[in-house]
Structure 1
Amino acid sequence: MELFFLYLLVGFTLLVCLSLQILFYRDRFLLSVPNLPPGTTGWPFVGETLEFLSTGWKGQPQTFIFDRITKYTSDCFRTNILNQNMAVLCGPGGNKFLFTNENKLVTAWWPDSVNKVFPSSLQTNSNQEAKKMRKLLPQFLKPEALQRYIGIMDTVAQTHFASGWENKDDVVLVFPLAKSYTFWLACRLFINVDDPDHIPGFAEQFHHLATGIMSIPIDFPGTPFNKAIKAAKFIRRELMKISKQRKIELAENKATATQDILSHMLTVTDEDGQFMNDLDIADKIMGLLIGGHDTASAAITFIIKYLAELPHVYDAVYKEQMEIAKSKARGELLNWNDIQKMKYSWNVACEVMRLAPPLQGGFREAITDFMYAGFTIPKGWKLYWSVHSTHRDPRCFPEPEKFDPTRFEGNGPAPYTYIPFGGGPRMCPGKEYARLEILVFMHNLVKRFKWEKLLPDEKIIVNPMPVPEKLLPVRLIPHTM
């Protein structure tokens, strides 16, 4: 027993010595670079990662940013997140600098955890991946193409409400239902899978993937990261099965190259005439399915939350949507012209995404030394932009805690202040897709129900997207016709 404690003491001493040595050399490096942004790099190995994540777990991710803006500078500060020296650029100026210097001074960067979950991303650099996706997506996600999807979205929404909301107990959990709708829609439009019995099990694996992909990369059984890796392997196998069957259908002319993104990926070739390999296709489809449903389901959930809290906003949305509903013949589906009439409803959705942004921010990497706001940013340093540095800044949005959809009337917010979809060359390519699926959902929801929250002060957890801790239970109040 004494020997055990001796080993324990020696091990602890060595760990302390190693940590002090790491701090010493890290600080020597930082001191050797003149004029770095103010800030601290925190503890060895973990830096300020735990505090960065814990503010989200507490439902206040903006405090990590604003505490440091107050302490150091409103323009830029340094930290260490995910064991990376990192500069956080704040405000509209920081957003503009990063978004307009893409592939000039900065490039996209993802934590190692993402590369471990998506192994095909290790085969090429981020610029090559971005070029591939820009080539693959436009014909499916540009507004002209999406017009064809509105009727499908309306059909899926009607079926979703009939099976998940109507003729049920009057109490429902909003977040799982929102995820069910957006995931069903993504599967239907991206890979033409429309099997209600198959989708729920698939969606559960995507939940593990989405919550674990940006977690602390500790690969032990039971950790979120471990669950994400297992979920990715399961999803990848399923997608490769679907791809195999689709190849057969394409060969037999039972499917077309333009029917969805999967078919297009299977038939497109690069400059050398080479087809994409199956693993690459599976990982890209996996990424699209995550992006195509997770952020939108969070936005829908918080739209329902705010409409329950603000009856006057609900009434205005209801009036707008019922005017559209009354103009339709029985059984007639929504179309592009109907969507264009939903101006107030979209302003509401935008204000929701200002206060509860599904995307918290994004990472970049410096590809050369440069100066920003009078500070030196060394080559290889990582950079981070946060929606909260502008979305809740009173200089960008007066009375930032007030829910006010009129902010988006006319020309709307000033450039680089409202960034729920990012900006620049890497702005989310699915922005218009998200607008359509959110508005189609709002239309089908408000024409059927009013509702009231059952937990007035339900805690919000951000991990990495905002989620009500108890999944937002509401009591439905069907409209009497």
Structure 2
Amino acid sequence: MEHWFTFAFLLGSAVSLLVIIFTFLFRHQFYQQNPSTVGPPFRPPPGSNGWPLIGENLDYLHKLRSGNLREFVVERMKKYGSKVFTTSIIGQPTAILYGAEGNKFLFSNENKLVKVWYPGSIEKIFAKSHGKSIGDDFVKVRKMLPAFFSSTALQKFIEGTMDNVIKLELEGHWKPNGSVLVRDLAGRYTLGVACRILLGSDDPSMVEKLAEPEKDIATGIISMPIDFPGTALNRALKAAKRLTALLLGVIEKTKIDIADGKVSKTENILSKLLHAKDENGELFKEVDVAAHLAGLIHGGYDPIRSGLTFVMKYLAELPEIYEQVLREQMEVKRSKQENETLRWEDIKKMKYSWNVTQEVFRLMPPVPGTFREVIKEFTYGGYTIPKGYKIHWNAYSTQLDPEYFSEPEKFDPSRFDGKGPPPFSYVPYGGGPRMCPGIDYAKAVILVFIHNVVTRYRWELLIPDEKVVVDPHPRPIEGLPIRLHPHDES
């Protein structure tokens, strides 16, 4: 809570700005309530900028942290009687388009009416050396990812990396009849896989080195945009510097290994990045390569760790679901020779387990949502969204909506049988051109984990009613402690 007290202190020192801000707010609210004064065809959506400086951040961050982000949206949708409204969050005037139709409109107009936008906290944490937005070069980086995340590439990683990493993790840290913290150990596994695929490193100490700064980076990603000692953003920025220094060391070693012929130019994502060029035809600077790697490491670590943690939680709470997952995974295991590693063909057989995972993601999306920036003024729902405005979409709005999911609070993997949910209602990976490029990667990482854990253990929650917070990824506050029971007990 210390960042809230710091924020209050800063407010006190900014009193001289209040007259200007109140004047701006009054003028903005006046135009919203009296659109005719602006003149047709401009008709801004209804909404509020909230408090001076703060906007509606306090309510937004409170509901985000408590997992009630849908409530933030629904309250305002009902208040304004509109499926599009404006607010002020993360220091920006922001429009929210509600419902599957809003998602469809947004995803269908990527790079036409809107483009990806990152809050100031993220831009600062993953800053690049030449001052450009982190999204500017990421188009090029995204084009490299299919070579590593395609089914062909994943086949190699499943056999030689994922299956081996989780087996080592289980043997080293998941003790039969002992208690473990799922979030920590799932994090070691996901970060271990990411180290190998992104950096080409199988050094066990690298996992610990990366995990330490990642903790502070994760909590600062969606935070009040205040860089002041003691704030979440300040801690995240310091952690990002440590992470950058660590990655620059890895980059230097990789360059030497490439020169010596120990590593090929396309062996891992790092070696590929070292030979990538920007729009000017120049090689990426090493510090920019480190910035891209930091973002990729985070994307392949914290969201998947969150997903795995809640898969374990729901399987412990729902024994009938666990039994069906166990039955499916044992069939896969019996089809293999002893000590034979998993293959992509095995992953494709785990249909029920993946349905369970998708239902977990529906109820507890690992990434609550993201932002876009309006690059061309457009009209939606009879209202005008001006150029420069930010658009915020979040998975909770539709994934917990009874309009799209009957009994939305009920855990029901069968929702994903057949054609699955209505289009654009289930969006934990985003959609359109900006859909997460690592969906198959995440699927493989998660199902390899489920297979190895479920075929060895049952487990019980040691804190059945453990509180869950979102900052920015959902997590049980105590790390989900469980007690393991090997199948051969009985």
Fold in common (TM above 0.5): yes
Q: Is 1:116 aligned with 2:124?
A: yes
Distance 1:235 1:313 in 2: 40
Q: Is 1:241 aligned with 2:243?
A: no
Show the counterpart of 1:390.
398
Out of 150, 154, 167, which is 1:158 matched to?
167
Distance 2:144 2:214 in 1: 22
Q: Which amino acid aligns with 2:163?
A: D
8 Å CA contact 2:88, 2:94 repeated in 1:
yes
Moved more, 288-297 or 169-178: 169-178
Q: Is 1:134 aligned with 2:142?
A: yes
Q: Which amino acid aligns with 1:166?
A: K
Distance 1:127 1:254 in 2: 32
Show the counterpart of 1:281.
289
Count matched residues: 471
Q: Is 1:20 aligned with 2:28?
A: no
Q: Is 1:39 aligned with 2:56?
A: no
Secondary structure of 1:193's match?
coil
Show the counterpart of 2:8.
none
Deviations 1:350-395 (A, max 9, x none): 0000000011111111112110011111111111111112101111
Moved more, 190-199 or 116-125: 116-125
Q: After TM superposition, give the deviation of residue 114 of structure 1 in Å.
A: 1.6
Out of 305, 308, 311, which is 1:303 matched to?
311
Secondary structure of 1:267's match?
coil
Distance 2:120 2:86 in 1: 20
Q: After TM superposition, give the deviation of residue 285 of structure 1 in Å.
A: 0.6
Out of 69, 79, 87, which is 1:79 matched to?
87
Distance 1:233 1:196 in 2: 22
Q: After TM superposition, give the deviation of residue 311 of structure 1 in Å.
A: 0.4
Q: After TM superposition, give the deviation of residue 70 of structure 1 in Å.
A: 2.3
Distance 1:244 1:89 in 2: 45
Q: After TM superposition, give the deviation of residue 21 of structure 1 in Å.
A: 2.9
CA RMSD of aligned residues (A): 1.9
Show the counterpart of 2:458.
450
Distance 2:388 2:196 in 1: 40
Q: After TM superposition, give the deviation of residue 72 of structure 1 in Å.
A: 2.2
Deviations 1:285-312 (A, max 9, x none): 1100000111111000000111011100
Q: Is 1:144 aligned with 2:152?
A: yes
Q: Which residues of 2 match residues 252-263 of structure 1 at below 5 A? A: 252-263=260-271
Q: After TM superposition, give the deviation of residue 455 of structure 1 in Å.
A: 1.8
| Change over 3 Å in CA distance of 1:270–1:22 after alignment to 2 | closer
Out of 318, 339, 345, which is 1:337 matched to?
345
Distance 2:14 2:290 in 1: 44
What TM-score do the two structures reach when normalised by structure 1?
0.94
8 Å CA contact 1:61, 1:462 repeated in 2:
no
Moved more, 461-470 or 25-34: 25-34
Distance 1:113 1:131 in 2: 21
| Change over 3 Å in CA distance of 1:226–1:127 after alignment to 2 | closer
Q: After TM superposition, give the deviation of residue 119 of structure 1 in Å.
A: 2.0
8 Å CA contact 1:107, 1:127 repeated in 2:
no
Distance 1:417 1:471 in 2: 30
Deviations 1:219-252 (A, max 9, x none): 1222211111011111111111111111111111
Out of 62, 69, 91, which is 2:77 matched to?
69
Distance 1:373 1:59 in 2: 28
Show the counterpart of 2:5.
none
Moved more, 72-81 or 357-366: 72-81
Q: After TM superposition, give the deviation of residue 444 of structure 1 in Å.
A: 0.6
Q: After TM superposition, give the deviation of residue 197 of structure 1 in Å.
A: 2.5
Structure 1, gaps ≥5 residues long: 1-9
Distance 1:391 1:94 in 2: 13
What TM-score do the two structures reach when normalised by structure 2?
0.92
Distance 1:271 1:389 in 2: 37
Out of 31, 54, 58, which is 2:66 matched to?
58
Out of 349, 353, 357, which is 1:349 matched to?
357
8 Å CA contact 1:115, 1:122 repeated in 2:
no
Identity %: 46
Q: Which amino acid aligns with 1:48?
A: E
Out of 275, 294, 309, which is 1:267 matched to?
275
